[in-house]
Chains A and B, each alone.
Chain A
Amino acid sequence: MPIHYDVTSVTLDEIKNLVSDRAITGETMLLNMGPQHPSTHGVLRLLLELDGETIITCIPDIGFLHTGIEKSMEGKTYQQAEVLTDRMDYLNTVGNNLAYCLAVEKLVELDVPARAQAIRVILAELQRIASHLIWLATQALDLAAQSVFLYCFRERELILDIFELVSGQRMMTTFIRPGGLWRDVPEEFETAVRDFLGHFPKRIEMYEGLLTKNPLFVDRTKGIAVVSGEEAVRWGMTGPSLRGSGVDYDLRKVNPYSGYEQYDFDVPLGENGDVFSRYIIRIQEMRESIHIIQQAMDKLPSGPVRSENRKFVPPPRSELGTSMEALIHHFKLWTEGFDAPEGSVYVPVSSPRGELGCLLESDGGPKPYRAHWRTPSYANLQALPMMAEGHLVADLVAIIGSIDIVLGDIDR
């Protein structure tokens, strides 16, 4: 019976080696924040030790969204397990699919046609923009800029419309499949994406106009939670949170996957490592994503979108009526799945939050023996106590927003 756990109470005894001595004598105050709190971006819980309004220690308590996805994946075949990856980091669903499919492809050594790779890049970058839009909306909302929230969600709808166009679903697309894509994109895809590319850069200008020089916003973000490059690396931070500290590390550049090496783009770097730098970086990243999508659209190759390797990829539906062999392959793949060779692979991709890695271990059967996700928010959140120390409680919401956590990504 689940309800009998008393999770809300934390005794001082449990955390006495995490708080300062003054908390034990009662000189400082222990305050609970979350899991029901509008600016913890989900169900994050923080225990704060406060001296007046200054944070002395901050102890995150996570797991309120622990879904057991890693366990559930062990009970599904490689094709079925992909559905669960969408639900993990729900702002980066396409990126999760991509990481998972790349891992499966590496495990079974599957080829992916060039057209599929280009479409994967387009969708992943669109998803990156959508994710950054949600981040911008919530970060601005936390700092009391309501209108940015409304604008960001307006633009996000356009991206979701494109996803719906290609896959029939707004968020949980599962469009990228091991060996390619589910199907080719419809004809309207090109105009939809070009339309979006046409007017989105002006919208970024608009967000910047609302925030970048806004004194209320700048006062609350500049000089807050400064992280040096060495500290960020030491704590294993990745993504914009790391690049905000001036460390040049982007997996799309250093370890290109899915044909990122063909595209020309910059990796924006921050100067100060504070909340404002991380904000500027994400805004710049949206612009770079536009560049990447533009290039990918311009040289979008034609051809098949699924590998011809019938041992792992189901045949097209049109062949089922005429070819006995295709029917057998289809039946085998959807009833038993495919056997992967024994071994373990790890594939990292660059999610909007940092390095998202999928570790798959196979025992030779049709189901992953162990699936583990190295999620960026988990690593970034771990640095939060270090970042929050010495700041005011009011700044904490800006700091949480700036590392762009998604609780589904942390708790899995």
Chain B
Amino acid sequence: MGLEEKAGNLGFVTTTLENVVNWSRTRAMWPLLSGLACCAIEMMAAQSAHYDMSRFGMELMRASPRQSDLLIVAGRVTNKMAPVLRRLYDQMPAPKWVLSMGDCASNGGVFNNYAIIQGVDEVLPVDVYVAGCPPRPEALIHGILVLYDKVQQEGITEWA
């Protein structure tokens, strides 16, 4: 016995504001069009017709950080690129999320030398890690769906 029962026939849906906001965030998340290395090719494959990431609200990738919500770190992060990546992240408007794609971005992968940062989490707060070298497009899409689950559970005040 509540509002839902009474208003059911009238075509109303009741939910919390938090749910609506989080739902809309996950249904139109625009990733930043930024590829670093090998994984960028698989990211492009995920975007193309065969895997079609636009099924999950990622219709377009924006080349400008000002217009994007999700930074997919696709590839190894070098010492020279890390400040650039950090600046890109800082330029993105909140709410924003980071997905670390592939082994190199997550933990350095097969490289442990003077040039490669051992995981992009040294410079950025990462939400989801996707394993693989490179991950298949399906794996990337799975990672994005995991991120959506995470976004669904966020509080509305977290980004305020």
Instruction: Say yes or no for A255: interface residue by CB 8 A criterion.
Output: no
Instruction: Say yes or no for B42: interface residue by CB 8 A criterion.
Output: yes
Query: Is B33 a contact partner of A38 (Cβ separation < 8 A)?
Result: yes
Query: Is A43 a contact partner of B115 (Cβ separation < 8 A)?
Result: no
- Residue in A6, A35, A90 whose beta carbon sits within 8 Å of that of B81 in the complex: A35
Name the B residues within 8 Å of A249 (CB-CB). none
Query: Is B78 a contact partner of A65 (Cβ separation < 8 A)?
Result: yes
What band does the interface of chain B fall in when counting residues whose beta carbon is under 8 Å from A? 35 or more
| 7 CB < 8 A contacts A-B | A42-B35, A43-B81, A65-B75, A83-B110, A87-B110, A151-B49, A172-B134
The CA of A66 and the CA of B87, in the complex, are separated in Å by: 19
- Give me 18 other A-B pairs in contact (C-beta within 8 A), A3-B86, A65-B76, A150-B49 excluded: A3-B123, A5-B83, A7-B80, A8-B87, A36-B65, A43-B36, A65-B37, A66-B115, A84-B110, A87-B38, A90-B38, A90-B41, A134-B41, A150-B48, A151-B49, A153-B48, A154-B50, A407-B37
Query: Is A87 a contact partner of B45 (Cβ separation < 8 A)?
Result: no
Instruction: Say yes or no for B67: interface residue by CB 8 A criterion.
Output: no
Query: Is A42 a contact partner of B40 (Cβ separation < 8 A)?
Result: yes
Name the B residues within 8 Å of A170 (CB-CB). 42, 134, 136
* Chain B residues with a Cβ under 8 A of chain A: 33-38, 40-42, 44-45, 48-50, 63, 65, 75-76, 78-84, 86-88, 110-117, 122-123, 133-134, 136
Name the B residues within 8 Å of A291 (CB-CB). none
The CA of A91 and the CA of B38, in the complex, are separated in Å by: 8
The CA of A151 and the CA of B36, in the complex, are separated in Å by: 23
Interface string of A31-46 (1 = CB under 8 A from B): 0000111100011000
Query: Is B111 a contact partner of A67 (Cβ separation < 8 A)?
Result: yes
- Residue in A35, A71, A172 whose beta carbon sits within 8 Å of that of B38 in the complex: A172
CB distance from A146 to the nearest CB of B (A): 10
Residue from B36, B41, B49, B116 having most chain A Cβ neighbours under 10 A: B41
- Residue in A8, A43, A63, A157 whose beta carbon sits within 8 Å of that of B50 in the complex: A157
Interface string of A265-288 (1 = CB under 8 A from B): 000000000000000000000000
Query: Is A68 a contact partner of B111 (Cβ separation < 8 A)?
Result: yes
Query: Is A35 a contact partner of B84 (Cβ separation < 8 A)?
Result: yes
